Amino acid sequence: MTVDSSGFHARDGWYFRREEDGSVRILAPDSMGPGAHQVVTLDADTWASVVASVSGGGETSESFQAARQFHDGGSEPERV
């Protein structure tokens, strides 16, 4: 991964990047020493589940679907 394509730098060397297929690649520092990194790629459904799980209401079928729709580029569904 180059510096130009690392993605969004959250903090302390943690980077998040959306891939072309909708998956999310996470680059994180490794305890092996300076310059060492771990890379994890989550598919779009897993990423939506993470987002829904850490939201205020937790993960439900509705919050998962809303997170997935938002991730796919759609707007959040109207609340009734």
Q: pLDDT tens digit string along 19-59?
A: 999 999 999 988 777 777 899 999 999 999 999 999 999 99
In a domain, 53, yes or no: yes
Confidence grade of residue 79 (pLDDT, cut at 50, 70, 90): low
In a domain, 52, yes or no: yes
How far is 67 from 79, CA to CA, in rounded Å?
14
Count how many domains the chain has. 2
Claim to verify: residue 34 and residue 50 sit in the same structural domain: no
Claim to verify: residue 51 and residue 35 sit in the same structural domain: no
pTM of the model: 0.79
pLDDT digit string (tens) for 2-28? Answer: 445 789 999 998 999 999 999 999 999
In a domain, 48, yes or no: yes
Claim to verify: residue 53 and residue 32 sit in the same structural domain: no
The whole domain housing 52 covers: 44-74
Spatial contact of 7 and 17, defined as CB atoms under 8 Å apart: yes
Packing angle, helices 44-53 and 61-71, rounded to 10:
120
